[in-house]
Amino acid sequence: MLVFCGYFNIYLLRTNMSIGIVIMTQNRYTTLGNGTVVNIGPEFEWDNVIQGYILSSFFYGYITTQLLGGLIGNKIGGKLVFGGGIAVTALVTLISPWLAELSVYALLVARILMGVFEGVTYSSLYVLWVKWIPPSERSRSTTQAMSGSYLGAVFALMFFAYLGEIAGWRSIFWFSGLLWFAAWVYATSESPQTDPKISPEERDYIEHSLRASQVSKAHKVQWKALFTSGAVWSLNVALFCETWGFYTLLTLLPKYFKDVFQFDISKSGLASALPYISISIMMHVCGQLADRIIAKKWLTLTKTRKTFMCIGFFSQTGFMLGAAFWGQAAGTVFCLAMAVGLGAFAIATVGVNALDIAPLHSGLVFGIANTWGTVPGIISPTIAGYVISTDNPGPEFDWSSELQGYILSSFFYGYISTQFIGGIFASRIGGKTLFGLGVIVTAVLTIITPWLTEVNVYLLIAVRVIEGVFEGVTYPCIHTVWSKWAPPLERARLATFAFSGCFVGTVVAMPSCAYLAEFLGWRSVFYICGASGVVWYIGWVFLVSGAPEDDPRISDEELAYIQESINSTSMQSNSTQVPWKEIFTSMPVWAITVSHFAENWGFYTLLTQLPKYLKDAYNYDLGKSGFLSALPYLVMSILIQFSGQLADWLLEKRLLTTTQVRKVFNCVGFLSQTVFMLIAAFWSNRIASVLCLTLAVGLGSLAWPGFSVNHLDLAPQYASILMGISNTFATIPGIVSPTLTGYIVYTPTTDQWETVFFIAAGIYLFGAVFYGTFASGNLQPWAAKAPEDGRLNKNEVEMVQKKPVSNGRADE
């Protein structure tokens, strides 16, 4: 639950700028004594190019620490890294309004710094998951957790729009996650063994499940094997594809609604959040389904990951295309919601695939993947800023669409730089510390973002880059945590539950930030979001342990269960050598990477752009459209809980193999997102557009039990590294998508937004095909240890993968 809330806060911190920037750059009016209404212009006169840089600056820092998050998480624990990352991000968020007023350059720097600290969160969390989540529960666990991201987006899009209208844009930044940090520090343990609250039965179950899927504890990362692993690269590509559409919508959806449909920012919150409501719901369904398929042995782990990934990508492709061609507001919102929502299928794969292929290095693997997955966050807003060009001199910040794209994508410039490093650091110092550090720094930078914005737009970009640097380590390092905490048969449900926090955060951020910006001013969005991250960090530090054996509150039974589960399934190696060549030549790793990229593309696209889209396309008021903007993430945050549970159930019942579960969930999610993205593109009706976008995002919850836990399947001991790799690529959408949208939507018109949805749909489709072809849910040979040379032969690996564990649970 705390991981879920952590992701929730992460996306509050990410999404607040998407809402705030609309209010910060829109025209202000005053009434003279004689009744004459005078346009006094925007508070920040940033053109769309500068806005693009600001939106993407977060990812400049985010991408730099993805791998670092996994490495540090492995060294000092995923709990501390995950909590610290959010706490720092929350603190920066609180000062963001002040920085925005100081200079746009200060704001850029702050957002870059936020990205730096948030960059460690995902990979460091895998350090926890590999210790906590049994293989049969990975899909449901990760998708449930990750659904917090989309609910965060839903909340932000719905609430921030109203908050901004009532209290001004500065109020949006007041939600920073500091309260969550306090709870995280106090209530979380690094592993079942160190958790004083865990029951002996649960500890035994987790330990037994994890022992069945992992090799003995490894300290040396086999870097060559890691970077030559097809499985790792498949994760990288998948994450890149997923994040392209996701970041594009996440950063640009509010702008899209404003440009194309003339949605007022306060009224477009629901439309902007609808895709994330959808994916928040679907994430729960996909995670549950993926684990169920694997448990029942209906499909192998690899087939499950591939199936889910392909379903997700193909669905997203279809709905992105629909959104591109649909010129009616309702139809477009519907397609975008579906394009994002059906990404839950892909997320159910890319979110756990690092745990599948390298449990002990899942933080590193996901850090690598999320580094690639951060690239869209950098490119997408920047490109969007140039594509969506406008010459409006009236807003507070006279930023062109190109500049807005750079601002929205700047986060991912930093975010992509630390995905790989986050995975490496998480595997060395532990996911807890790195994850927390990534969030806390980002929160702090968010707080100062408004001040930096007012100083200089380039300072804003710099801050967003730094934010990306610190957030970049979060996803990889969390895989390090999961590799220690997540029994194999519970990885999907635990990972998806945790990841659902991303979507819940989006759900909360989208509408709440819109309201905050409209009523309290755009600066309030950064203050509130930053404070929320700081509070979260306090809880993270005091409540979370990096590994079960370090948790003083865990019961003996639960500790024994976790240790036995992990050890029996992974046979963790004591080697300190990372198989880099094997990792980077592993097609299953690349399947996760591609899927992660694809899912993030659509997700980030809607997350950053949905409020703008609703305002552009349908002229929705930001404060009143907050719920619409958050709806997709609300749906995803709900569905991801079911998807993770279903995935683990399928595994536990042995209805599908682990590979089959990952593939089925991922492909179903992506294909669904493809379809609804296409419909959203073609359907110009307001209601239909919101519905499509909601389903496009929500059905993405099916993908999360696939790729998101797949790192733990392939190589538990390298899960953080694999996550760092895939999330590095998955960060690219956060960079590219907002920027690209800024260039495409330069008028803005419905036709231009259609192009944005077409791109997202195509990337979803590619991610589905790639993941379905190359993904695997089996422990990779390079992640296993032999008696003499440190490696198992092929037959021994297969024996380990097929070996049953207690309670009728399956390894895959």
Angle between helices 301-325 and 626-652 (to 10 degrees): 160
Banded model confidence at residue 754, pLDDT cuts 50, 70, 90: confident
List 28's β-bridge partners, or say none: 41
Segment 450-454 shows an average pLDDT of 84
Answer whether residue 255 is part of any domain. Answer: no
Residue 95: partners with Cβ closer than 8 Å, 6 or more residues away: 110, 444, 445, 446, 447, 448, 449, 450, 451, 526, 530
SS3 of 583-638: HHCEEHHHHHHHHHHHHHHHHHHHHHHHHHHHHHHHCCCECCCHHHHHHHHHHHHH
Tell me what pLDDT residue 381 has.
66
Tokens of 388: 């969506």
Closest CA to 382 of 605, 669, 691, 667: 605
CB 25 within 8 A of CB 530: no
Banded model confidence at residue 660, pLDDT cuts 50, 70, 90: very high
Cis bond before residue 395 (omega within 30° of 0):
no
Answer whether residue 626 is part of any domain. Answer: yes
Segment 529-539 shows an average pLDDT of 90
684-725 pLDDT, tens digit each: 777 888 888 888 888 888 888 888 888 888 888 888 788 878
Segment 160-185 shows an average pLDDT of 78
Instruction: Give me the amino acid identity at 761.
Output: A
Tokens of 397: 């910040």
Closest CA to 578 of 264, 335, 218: 218
Tokens of 46: 């940033």
Answer whether residue 787 is part of any domain. Answer: no
Alpha-carbon distance values, 544 to 21, 81, 186, 361, 526 (Å): 34, 10, 6, 20, 26
Residue 251: partners with Cβ closer than 8 Å, 6 or more residues away: 17, 18, 55, 56, 377, 380, 381, 384, 408, 409, 604, 605, 607, 608, 609, 734, 737, 738, 741
Q: What percent of the chain has pLDDT over 70?
A: 87
Tokens of 392: 């409006």
List 597's β-bridge partners, or say none: 240
Q: Return the ∠ at Cα 808 (arms to 807 and 812), rounded to 5°.
A: 115
Tell me what pLDDT residue 576 has.
57
Tokens of 669: 């999610």
CB 78 within 8 A of CB 481: yes
Answer whether residue 11 shows pLDDT above 70: yes
Closest CA to 605 of 100, 118, 59, 141: 59
CB 201 within 8 A of CB 555: yes
302-331 pLDDT, tens digit each: 888 888 888 888 888 888 888 777 767 778
Segment 269-297 shows an average pLDDT of 78
Tokens of 344: 């839950």
Instruction: Give me the amino acid identity at 319.
Output: F
Closest CA to 421 of 90, 87, 115, 790: 115
Reduced to 3 states (helix: H, G, I; strand: E, B; else coil), residue 28 is strand
Answer whether residue 259 is part of any domain. Answer: no
Q: Rounded mean pLDDT of the chain?
A: 79
CB 741 within 8 A of CB 320: no
Query: Hey, how many other C-beta atoms are within 10 angstroms of the C-beta on 673?
Result: 59
DSSP element (H, E) containing 29: strand 28-31
Angle between helices 719-730 and 474-482 (to 10 degrees): 150
Beta strand ranges found along 94-237 (DSSP E): 170-171, 211, 215-216, 220-222
Tell me what pLDDT residue 733 has.
80
CB 20 within 8 A of CB 172: yes
Q: Report d(CA 23, CA 161) in Å as an integer.
A: 9
Alpha-carbon distance values, 313 to 507, 663, 763 (Å): 22, 11, 7
Q: Report d(CA 93, CA 180) in Å as an integer.
A: 14
Tokens of 313: 């990508």
Tokens of 715: 């190589």
DSSP element (H, E) containing 352: strand 351-352
When computed from its CA atoms, the radius of gyration of the chain, rounded to whole angstroms, is: 21
Q: Report d(CA 704, CA 630) in Å as an integer.
A: 19
Reduced to 3 states (helix: H, G, I; strand: E, B; else coil), residue 398 is coil
Q: Report d(CA 333, CA 202) in Å as an integer.
A: 43
Tokens of 423: 């995975």
Who has greater pLDDT, 525 or 266?
525
β-strand 56-57 against 571-572: which pairing, if any? unpaired
- Has this prediction a pTM greater than 0.85? no
Query: What is the Cα 812 distance to its own chain's centre?
Result: 24
Reduced to 3 states (helix: H, G, I; strand: E, B; else coil), residue 522 is coil
Q: Report d(CA 440, CA 178) in Å as an integer.
A: 8
Q: Report d(CA 735, CA 106) in Å as an integer.
A: 19
Banded model confidence at residue 668, pLDDT cuts 50, 70, 90: very high
Tell me what pLDDT residue 266 has.
58
Tokens of 514: 């819109």
Answer whether residue 540 shows pLDDT above 70: yes
Who has greater pLDDT, 404 or 760?
760
As for how many domains the chain has, the answer is 1
Answer whether residue 295 is part of any domain. Answer: yes
Who has greater pLDDT, 298 or 384?
298
Answer whether residue 790 is part of any domain. Answer: no
Q: Report d(CA 807, CA 797) in Å as an integer.
A: 22
Answer whether residue 224 shows pLDDT above 80: yes
Answer whether residue 625 shows pLDDT above 70: no
Answer whether residue 100 shows pLDDT above 50: yes
Domain that holds residue 165: 2-247+264-782+795-808
Answer whether residue 440 shows pLDDT above 90: yes
Q: Report d(CA 125, CA 355) in Å as an integer.
A: 11
Instruction: Give me the amino acid identity at 643.
Output: S
* 189 phi and psi angles, rounded to 5 deg: -120, 150
Q: Report d(CA 799, CA 802) in Å as an integer.
A: 5
Q: Within 13 Å, how many C-alpha atoms sit on residue 12's CB side?
A: 53
**Exposure string over 481-500, b if 16+ CB within 10 A, otherwise e:** bbbbbbbbbbbbbbbbbbbb
* 737 phi and psi angles, rounded to 5 deg: -60, -55
Answer whether residue 389 shows pLDDT above 70: no
Reduced to 3 states (helix: H, G, I; strand: E, B; else coil), residue 15 is helix
DSSP element (H, E) containing 267: strand 266-267
Banded model confidence at residue 624, pLDDT cuts 50, 70, 90: low
Tell me what pLDDT residue 167 has.
81
Answer whether residue 244 shows pLDDT above 60: yes
Alpha-carbon distance values, 667 to 345, 427, 718, 766 (Å): 6, 30, 24, 10
Place of tokens 């929502």: 341
β-strand 717-718 against 576-579: which pairing, if any? unpaired
Reduced to 3 states (helix: H, G, I; strand: E, B; else coil), residue 351 is strand
**Exposure string over 519-547, b if 16+ CB within 10 A, otherwise e:** bbbbbbbbbbbbbbbbbbbbbbbbbbbbb
Answer whether residue 559 shows pLDDT above 50: yes
Q: Report d(CA 525, CA 451) in Å as an integer.
A: 12
Tokens of 78: 């995923």
Query: Hey, how many other C-beta atoms are within 10 angstroms of the C-beta on 166?
Result: 18
Q: Report d(CA 699, CA 677) in Å as an integer.
A: 11
Answer whether residue 789 is part of any domain. Answer: no
Tokens of 592: 């996760």
Tokens of 538: 């306090």
Banded model confidence at residue 571, pLDDT cuts 50, 70, 90: very low
List 543's β-bridge partners, or say none: 185
Tell me what pLDDT residue 386 has.
64
